[in-house]
Amino acid sequence: MQKIFDEVNSLDKRCYEEFFLSEDILMEHASSSMALYIEEKYHDKKTILIVCGSGNNGADGIALARLLHTKFDVSLYFYKEVKTDIGKVQYKRAKSLGVSFANKIQNADIIVDCIFGSGLNKSLDNQAISLIEELNSLEAIKIACDIPSGIFSDGQVNSVAFNADTTITMGALKTSLFSDTAKDYVGKIKVANLGIQRELYETNTNKYLLEKKDLKLPHRTKHNSHKGSYGHLNVVAGCKKGAGIIAAKAAFGFGAGIVSVVCHENLDLPYHIMQTHFVSENCTAIAIGMGLGKYEIDEVKKILSKDVKKIVDADLFYDELLLDVLDEDIVLTPHPKEFCSLLKICDIADITIDELQNNRIKYVEKFSSVYPKVVLLLKGTNVIISQGDNLYINTYGSAVLSKGGSGDVLSGLVGSLLAQGYEPLDAAISASLAHALAASNFKRNDYSLIPSDLIEEVRRL
């Protein structure tokens, strides 16, 4: 996993004060990192247009132009006159070397956005909006310096943002790059070296970006074992029985030794899935909520009172029954509407879905501060997983997963790992990664995924 920071000004300041690295040195190394990336990846391209703002993001762009000058046909365009002292120095350097300056936007093989940095905190004016819209309309490879212009420090977009193929962010990853809104603009994210190794530049944080290597698959290394060695998951099926059956199939395919569907009605289940009318005495985890619909309160209370690990999803996020188990080893997997209901039930916040989506991390942190033992997995374009003070972001998800039944598969995956003995946080992280990476491996049209496809891809990981 990689560290994520809400802001990096304090990290820059530490470089100045503790490591005696000047602002100029950091900027030169940042620009060198960007130049090296462009030279290595796009050495076959000819023309580059670098669009600069008046602040230090623009100064990065001027330094970049100087470094790429003679290697490419580089032009600098200024959205507004340079204002910062270091920007004025960079301007003099570029001008003395004969870097070209453009007085209008022109197409190029590569366009680099250096208009605004990660500290944007006020609405764009009409001139900026028109400029970004014009840049977006051009057929070119688009690279953003630090963060695509138009994305605010909270990760939101009020009007328009630069649509980057790649974002090269300065020094460290920023929280604003990982909002659901930002995902449509940032493209691939790279971190520029500032002349100091990341492990020295970065300090402690409570936010982390999950990577593929963080996936811990339930491989079986012990030969002397039997089905009971790998847990017994009970999946509670409700009114919409298909949801529970999907979860059960996913759980079995992800390593659970035994999977039983709990339902009073007789079900037509695959031969390898068992059925029971009541929770099994030897179950090691319970998955409940998927397709539950209307239910007998006393029966659900009894199920929730079982002293085993649980994954809770869907309909139970609308019932105060859930309050009785929020001090246990439990994983909650709500989508945004369900999470809004959960926040209200818990008397943490009464907000709309839009308010949540504009502040996902904020409300996840609020919930986890009240219920630090619970593992919360908030579904979305980027999945947020939180327990206590720590927060993890999974960015591997895609629109392929925007289908009914995908969430039921995820519930089954989490339940399977819980049944096999994973700790709740580890189960949520590995299940979420497996879920997203399996979808990314799906080779057919991105609109055509069905739950059985997703389960099959999980089995191939």
315 is in an annotated binding site: no
243 annotated as belonging to a binding site for a ligand: yes
**Which residues have CB under 8 Å from 128's CB, separation 6+?**
79, 115, 116, 149, 150
Is 146 assigned a ligand-binding role in the annotation? yes
Q: What whole-number distance in Å separates Cα of residue 143 and Cα of residue 162?
A: 9
389 annotated among ligand-binding-site residues = no
CA distances from residue 349 to 103, 139, 339, 341, 392 in whole angstroms, order as listed: 50, 44, 10, 9, 22
Chain-centre distance of CA 20, in angstroms? 34
8-state DSSP, 69? B
Q: Is the dihedral of CA 296, 299, 304, 309 positive or negative?
A: negative
120 labelled binding-site residue = yes
Is 125 annotated to bind ligand?
no
Tell me if 234 is assigned to a ligand binding site: no
DSSP β-bridge partners for residue 285: 233, 309
Q: In this structure, are residues 143 and 81 in contact, taking their beta carbons and an 8 Å threshold?
A: no
Q: Is 237 annotated as a binding residue?
A: no
Query: Is 285 flagged in the annotation as binding?
Result: no
59 is in an annotated binding site: yes
Residue 57 counted as an annotated binding residue: yes
User: Would the annotation count 92 as a binding residue?
Assistant: no
Rounded-to-integer distance, Cα 4 and Cα 14, Å = 17
Q: How far apart are alpha carbons 65 and 413 in whole angstroms?
A: 49
What are the backbone dihedrals phi and psi of residue 88, each rounded to the nearest 5 degrees, phi first? -65, -35
Was 461 annotated as part of a binding site? no
Is 401 within 8 Å of 446 (Cβ atoms)? no
Annotated binding residue 117? yes
Distance of alpha carbon 299 from the chain centroid: 36
Residue 350 is labelled as binding a ligand:
no
Identify the H or E element spanning 312.
Answer: strand 309-312
Closest CA to 419 of 322, 334, 311: 311
**Helix segments in 331-444, DSSP class H:** 336-345, 353-358, 360-370, 406-419, 424-440
426 is in an annotated binding site: no
* CA angle 378–382–384, rounded 5-degree value: 35
Residues annotated in a binding site for (6S)-NADPHX:
56-60, 117-123, 146, 243, 291, 335, 408
Residues annotated in a binding site:
56-60, 113, 117-123, 146, 149, 243, 291, 335, 407-408
Residues annotated in a binding site for K(+):
57, 113, 149
Residues annotated in a binding site for AMP:
407
